[in-house]
């Protein structure tokens, strides 16, 4: 039988491709958008990670979600430093979530409050992605907008306390494989992972409308 981590990866492969090749992300990574688009995207991430991480303390003791909650993953402090760099000291007053982002954050919050398995699906979709493709985004952002390597502006993508991302991802997949839920609940988690990808794609679509290609 396939491991749960493989099932999750396989089930989201098509949507991963769709998210990765969304016009906004392609334009952003292709250097066709200004730094304001990058800042707006970073701002949207703040809402998602605020939802994920404000629940982390409480879920750390949960038998299903607890093993995934790790201090070295926490992204909110890094996002806040990036936003201060991108938007200036008053960044917090200007924060605004796109409707698609608000819907995404609401869904994360609802899972965090009522459904640990669903929270794990969202956790996987974000953090394993950040540890993988996130490194591509960081590299392009540094080159396109001149941020210091692993410095302010791209700290979100730098996991200071994870020395070996490959080993970390391997262990993370082992925790997925060992998650203490039955087959039906695993299927529900796969469906929630698909929903998480769709919520991400919707945010990219909204950003694409706000920042059409300039060149
Ligand atoms: C810039 C666009 C992206 C690139 C270049 C990219 C690239 C990658 C690569 C190369 C991997 C494989 C890593 C490995 O096998 O260890 C990966 C995995 C992953 N990505 Fe992305 N990605 C992108 C966007 C996204 C987005 C938008 C999401 C969802 C929010 C996402 C979620 C994931 C997840 C969950 C995994 C882990 C799959 C698994 O092994 O279980 N990625 N990505």
For residue 76, pLDDT over 80 is answered with yes
Q: What is the pLDDT of residues 55-69, one digit of tens each?
A: 999 999 999 999 999
Q: Is the CB of 136 under 6 A from ligand 1?
A: yes
Q: What is the pLDDT of residues 87-120, one digit of tens each?
A: 999 999 999 999 999 999 999 999 999 999 999 9
Q: Is residue 97, in this structure, part of any structural domain at all?
A: yes
For residue 215, pLDDT over 70 is answered with no
Q: Is residue 121, in this structure, part of any structural domain at all?
A: yes
> How sure is the predictor about 214, in pLDDT bands with cuts at 50, 70 and 90?
low
Q: What is the pLDDT of residues 113-149, one digit of tens each?
A: 999 999 999 999 999 999 999 999 999 999 999 999 9
Q: What is the pLDDT of residues 152-175, one digit of tens each?
A: 999 999 999 999 999 999 999 999
On whether 157 is known to bind a ligand per the annotation, the reply is no
Q: Is the CB of 129 under 6 A from ligand 1?
A: yes
Q: What is the 3-state secondary structure (H, E, C) of the chain?
A: CCCHHHHHHHHHHHHHHHHHCCHHHHHHHCCCCCHHHHHHHHHHHHHHHHHHHHCHHHHCCCCCCHHHCCHHHCCHHHHHHHHHHHHCCCHHHHCCCCHHHHHHHHHHHHHHHHCHHHHHHHHHHHHHHHHCCHHHHHHHHHHHHCCCCCCCCCHHHCCCCCCCHHHHHHHHHHHHHCCCCCHHHHHHHHHHHHHHHHHHHHHHHHHHHHCCCCC
Q: Is residue 215, in this structure, part of any structural domain at all?
A: no
- Structural domain including 10 reads 4-210
On whether 81 is known to bind a ligand per the annotation, the reply is no
Structurally, the chain folds into a number of domains equal to 1
Q: Is the CB of 152 under 6 A from ligand 1?
A: no
Q: Is the CB of 177 under 6 A from ligand 1?
A: no
Ligand 1 atom closest to the Cα of residue 193 is: 35
Q: For ligand 1, atom 16, name the residue with the nearest CA.
A: 132
Q: Is the CB of 97 under 6 A from ligand 1?
A: no
| Domain harbouring 78, CATH code | 1.20.910.10
- Return the pLDDT at 1: 81
Q: Is residue 171, in this structure, part of any structural domain at all?
A: yes
């Amino acid at each position: 039988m396939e491991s749960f981590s493989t099932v999750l990866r396989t089930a989201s492969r098509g949507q991963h491709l769709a998210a990765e090749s969304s016009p906004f992300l392609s334009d952003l990574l292709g250097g066709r958008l200004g730094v304001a688009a990058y800042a707006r995207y970073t701002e949207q991430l703040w809402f998602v990670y605020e939802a994920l991480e404000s629940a982390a303390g409480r879920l750390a003791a949960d038998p299903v979600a607890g093993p995934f909650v790790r201090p070295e993953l926490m992204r909110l402090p890094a996002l806040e430093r990036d936003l201060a760099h991108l938007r200036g000291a008053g960044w917090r007053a200007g924060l605004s979530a796109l409707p698609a982002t608000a819907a995404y954050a609401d869904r994360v919050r609802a899972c965090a409050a009522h459904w640990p398995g669903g929270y794990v699906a969202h956790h996987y979709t974000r953090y394993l992605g950040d540890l993988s493709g996130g490194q591509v985004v960081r590299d392009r952002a540094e080159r396109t907008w001149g941020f210091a390597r692993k410095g302010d502006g791209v700290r979100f993508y730098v996991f200071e306390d994870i020395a070996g991302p490959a080993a970390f991802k391997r262990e993370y997949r082992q925790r997925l494989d060992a998650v203490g839920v039955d087959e039906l609940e695993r299927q529900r988690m796969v469906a929630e992972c698909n929903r998480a990808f769709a919520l991400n794609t919707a945010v990219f679509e909204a950003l694409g409308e706000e920042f059409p290609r300039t060149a």
